[in-house]
């Protein structure tokens, strides 16, 4: 076996030991010490869409309401409709001058309106006089929160984390009734925002003498091979207290301990040395845990565990970005918060799958677009090794949409930033903050003031990380001084202005904060093969030859060249890693079209051809060899059908039915020739296509074959994981494909399939990646798109076998056995 196998195996067991350690720590906290109990309110929620003036009251009959689990997105179940949030608008970001009807801009899903959630819970561990915190990690949107009939607070920004001290409202040893009112307005978003309690809700019970919510701030101000200084600031409530902190490594060994009684106002500060630290990086995402205990005398009053990483970041003119002393460039993608067929409802298995797909591509960085990330996403980026650009807002004072964040900017921006930073700052993956994206405030002196004010808030709350803004009005920001104010000037597209911006801005480097926006549909190819912007077709699809883009964007090669030739370009974040609901550019005016075409992977998480172009540049450990298009073109016999090859090798030879089409070599004749191998004059004839890639010595390194498939014969099922956790949340993602009688993939099938799940699991959703499909994800039937789709099978809380059955007319059915443990 390769050394890669053993490395991956060792990393797996290291992570397993770490998870076991955290489980032990959790048991110790909640079962033995009983000083802090965290309860997730996941089950037995009651939900109703619509207004109900009495729903906040404790005594209220909600038996007829729908029973749901949280996280929950009420709108993802559809149905899709062109009448939902139909907008007559000119999209400024798309350089539109004339308003036209947009029918899929926010996903064509019914997110608009009011919704109510109710949950009744008891706290048997609660003792009168203790402190109780009610924590929300996101609620879409404008939540108003009631406990036992009394309003305890409200929050405006649907993407923000927030909490309330509800100690005065809790009833001991009796049921407590929580009610949450949510309101989503139309014209409030530029993409599908989701609806409901789409992230976790928790109740935290602790003593009055305790560590404050998000009160721990861990940094590593000095890092070397032999020693790291870990600085821990801990805000607390109480008097005559002392703090003991132990640092535990991934193997469960305590590597350092510190005790202090010296407190500054309400904050302890500890500086702890860790010898021979294992540093965090995308290649080696080593993690530590700080176990912090608060005492009065010898009595334990509170205990928390905080996971962190030891790493050093630096941004310098003439050098660029450095991680742990090594200069590197971000190979990043932008991600919206929705999870395709799951909508906005957070699911860790879905997030993990996304990141694992991106990891294989060679991606090492994520930008949360254009709002605050989920805690689960950050936890996974810590574990799997992704640097993270955490973004805050898509709007400031000047609106992009009528009912967007502009309504709250003046009153809420500071508290929203404070919560973002406090809730997430201990995640080592975060290496940069963003205070905005393509804000119209880029023009004029007022915008410069906003940029400076927001940046100062970030710096005050976290002086260890720089701040950027994704700028699309680059000439305006050069003229106004907007770009010069920023720690990191971020350019969204505008590749032709990089040189001018580098000369105009004083920072000495440029970040590609949003790049490419190439559009394509998985498995769809258009002829003739031509590069160009704003191409549209009657079927509402974009060509997967990866040469189509928007009038404000570009193909991947334009950014590759900047990364490769300009040392002052510190990396890029491609728009986007996965397709997302809403923003169906270039089909904003086309119905049906309700999701994006920008993704390197489609909405189902299936790689498009473009995935392999990026993989050929970004994944230095594994070989890449990928051909396109497919080779089933009945009716095109004798017609020119170009073949592209994406590979990390510099040359390759193409054969059609055994006849050589010649050797192509990467060269600098054009941006395309520099990164792709292209046989532009190939004429289609059915049969076998073979490509042989050569190493630097001209010897065959690897090869790949595709054939013209026969008639579709049977279904094939392949899961990302056959063993899942019996927690009622875990998901196995099963790719369904059609093959001919010899097992060759049939790329044209759009057959209607049906799904059923038996045993200790349930059918959750399906997705085919077709931006024009109006089939509802949660119904157990869907058409294939370009010969594939994905079925989501979810565990129950009971371990055992799960069987997925998939059927289609005139196709041999297929079954797949899974296990939940």
List residues with catalytic annotation: 438, 514
**Closest by alpha carbon to 393, among 444, 343, 455, 338?**
455
Contact in structure between 609 and 646 (CB atoms under 8 Å):
yes
Q: Is 94 in a helix, a strand, or coil?
A: helix
Q: In 3-state terms, what secondary structure has residue 405? A: helix
DSSP β-ladder status, 510-516 and 488-492: parallel
Residue 111 makes CB contacts below 8 A (sequence gap 6+) with 74, 75, 84, 85, 140, 184, 192, 193, 194, 195
- Residues 62 and 118 sit within 8 Å (Cβ to Cβ): yes
d(CA 258, CA 633): 70
Assess contact for 652 and 677: CB atoms under 8 A.
Answer: yes
SS (H, E, C) 470-509: EECCHHHHHHHCHHHHCCEEEEECCHHHHHHHHHHCCCCC
- Asked if the peptide bond before residue 576 counts as cis, ω within 30 degrees of 0, the response is yes
> Burial, 637: exposed, middle or buried (Cβ in 10 Å; 0-12, 13-18, 19+)?
exposed
The whole-angstrom separation of Cα 292 and Cα 272 is 13
Q: How far is CA 547 from the centre of its chain?
A: 25
Kindly tell me the burial class for residue 608, based on how many C-beta atoms sit within 10 Å of its own C-beta (0-12, 13-18, 19 or more): buried
Q: Give the Cα separation of 708 and 566 in Å (integer).
A: 43
Angle at alpha carbon of residue 24, lines to 21 and 27, rounded to 5°: 150
Structure tokens at 555: 């193909």
Encoding tokens for residue 133? 């915190």
State the DSSP string of 46-66: EEEES--TTTTSSS---TTSE
φ, ψ at 672 (rounded to 5°): -65, -45
In eight-state DSSP terms, residue 726 is S
Contacts of 8 by beta carbon, 8 Å cutoff, 6+ apart: none
635: helix, coil or strand? Answer: coil
Distance between CA atoms of residues 167 and 210, nearest Å: 14
Whole-angstrom distance, CA of residue 805 vs CA of residue 814: 6
DSSP 372: P
Pair 798, 821: CB distance under 8 Å: no
For residue 261, the Cα-to-chain-centroid distance in whole angstroms is 41
* DSSP code at position 3: H
Give the 3-state secondary structure of residue 806.
Answer: strand
What CA–CA distance (Å, rounded) separates 342 from 543? 26
Token pair in block for residue 168: 């005065």
Phi, psi of 545 (to 5 degrees): -75, -5
| CB contact at 8 A, 130 and 209 | no
Q: Angle CA(598)–CA(600)–CA(604) in degrees, nearest 5?
A: 90
Under DSSP, is residue 687 helix (H, G, I), strand (E, B) or coil?
coil
Helix (H, G, I), strand (E, B) or coil at 16: helix
- β-pairing, 688-694 vs 651-656, is antiparallel
Number of H helices, E strands in the chain: 11, 49
Per DSSP (E only), the strands in 582-658 are: 625-628, 643-647, 651-656
């Amino acid at each position: 076996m390769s050394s890669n196998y053993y490395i991956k195996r060792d990393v797996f067991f290291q992570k397993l030991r770490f998870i076991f350690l955290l489980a032990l720590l959790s048991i110790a906290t909640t079962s033995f010490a009983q000083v802090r109990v965290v309860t997730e309110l996941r089950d037995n929620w009651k939900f109703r869409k619509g207004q109900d003036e009495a729903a906040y009251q404790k005594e209220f009959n909600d038996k007829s309401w729908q029973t749901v689990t949280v996280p929950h997105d009420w709108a993802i179940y559809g149905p899709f409709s062109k009448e939902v949030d139909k907008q007559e608008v000119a999209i400024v970001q798309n350089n539109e001058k004339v308003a036209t009807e947009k029918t899929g801009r926010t996903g064509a899903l019914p997110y608009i309106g009011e919704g109510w959630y109710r949950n009744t819970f008891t706290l048997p561990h609660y003792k009168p006089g203790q402190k109780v915190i009610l924590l929300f990690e996101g609620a879409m949107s404008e939540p108003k929160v009631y406990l036992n009939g009394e309003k305890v607070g409200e929050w405006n920004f649907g993407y923000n984390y927030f909490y309330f001290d509800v100690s005065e409202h809790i009833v001991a040893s009796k049921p407590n009734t929580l009610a949450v009112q949510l309101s989503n307005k139309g014209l409030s978003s530029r993409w599908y925002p989701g609806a409901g309690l789409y992230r976790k809700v928790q109740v935290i019970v602790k003593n009055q003498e305790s560590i404050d919510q998000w009160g721990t701030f861990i940094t590593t101000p000095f890092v070397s091979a032999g020693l790291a200084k870990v600085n821990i600031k801990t805000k607390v409530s109480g008097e005559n207290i002392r703090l003991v902190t132990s640092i535990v490594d991934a193997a469960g060994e305590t590597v350092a301990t510190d005790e202090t009684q010296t407190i500054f106002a309400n904050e302890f500060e500890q500086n702890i040395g860790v010898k021979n630290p294992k540093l965090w990086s995308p290649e080696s995402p080593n993690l530590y845990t700080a176990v912090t205990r608060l005492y009065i005398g010898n009595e334990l009053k509170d205990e928390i565990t905080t996971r962190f990483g030891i790493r050093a970041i630096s941004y310098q003119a003439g050098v660029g970005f450095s991680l742990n002393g090594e200069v590197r460039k971000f190979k990043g993608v932008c991600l919206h918060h929705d999870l395709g067929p799951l909508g906005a409802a957070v699911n860790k298995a879905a997030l993990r799958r996304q990141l694992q797909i991106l990891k294989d591509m060679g991606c090492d960085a994520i930008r949360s677009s254009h709002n605050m990330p989920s805690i689960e996403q950050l936890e996974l980026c810590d574990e799997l090794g992704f640097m993270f650009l955490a973004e805050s807002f898509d709007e400031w004072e000047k609106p992009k949409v009528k009912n967007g964040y502009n309504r709250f900017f003046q009153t809420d921006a500071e508290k929203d930033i404070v919560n973002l930073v406090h809730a997430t700052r201990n995640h080592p993956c975060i290496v940069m903050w963003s205070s905005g994206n393509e804000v119209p405030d880029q023009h004029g002196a007022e915008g410069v003031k906003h940029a400076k004010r927001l940046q100062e808030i970030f710096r005050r709350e976290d002086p260890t990380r720089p701040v950027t803004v994704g700028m699309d009005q680059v000439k305006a920001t050069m003229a106004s001084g907007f770009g010069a104010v920023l720690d990191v000037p971020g350019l969204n597209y505008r590749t032709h202005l990089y040189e001018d911006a580098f000369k105009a801005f004083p920072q000495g480097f440029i970040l590609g904060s949003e790049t490419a926006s190439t559009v394509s549909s998985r498995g769809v190819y258009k002829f003739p093969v031509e590069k160009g912007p704003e191409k549209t077709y009657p079927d509402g699809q974009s060509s997967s030859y990866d040469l189509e883009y928007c009038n404000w964007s570009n193909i991947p090669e334009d950014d590759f060249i900047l990364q490769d030739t300009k040392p002052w370009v510190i990396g890029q974040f491609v728009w986007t890693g996965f397709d997302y609901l809403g923003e169906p550019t270039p089909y904003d005016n086309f119905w049906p079209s309700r999701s994006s075409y920008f993704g390197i992977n489609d909405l189902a998480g299936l790689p498009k051809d473009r995935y392999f172009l990026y993989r050929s540049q970004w994944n230095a450990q594994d070989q890449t060899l990928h051909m396109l298009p497919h080779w089933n073109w009945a009716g095109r016999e004798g017609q020119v059908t170009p073949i592209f090859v994406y590979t990390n090798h510099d040359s390759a030879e193409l054969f059609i039915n055994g006849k050589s089409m010649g050797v192509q070599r990467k060269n600098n004749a054009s941006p395309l020739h520099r990164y792709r191998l292209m046989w532009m004059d190939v004429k289609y004839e059915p049969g076998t296509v073979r490509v042989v890639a050569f190493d630097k010595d001209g010897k065959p390194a690897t090869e790949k074959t595709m054939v013209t498939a026969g008639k579709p014969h049977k279904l094939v099922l392949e899961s990302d994981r056959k063993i899942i956790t019996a927690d009622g949340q875990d998901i196995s993602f099963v790719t369904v494909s059609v093959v001919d009688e010899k097992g060759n993939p049939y790329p044209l099938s759009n057959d209607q399939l049906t799904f059923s799940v038996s045993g200790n699991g349930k059918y959750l959703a399906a997705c085919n990646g077709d931006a024009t499909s109006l089939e509802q994800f949660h119904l157990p039937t869907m058409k294939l798109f370009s010969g594939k789709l994905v079925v989501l099978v979810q565990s129950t809380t009971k371990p055992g076998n799960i069987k997925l059955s998939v059927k289609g007319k005139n196709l041999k059915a297929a079954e797949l056995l899974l296990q939940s443990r």
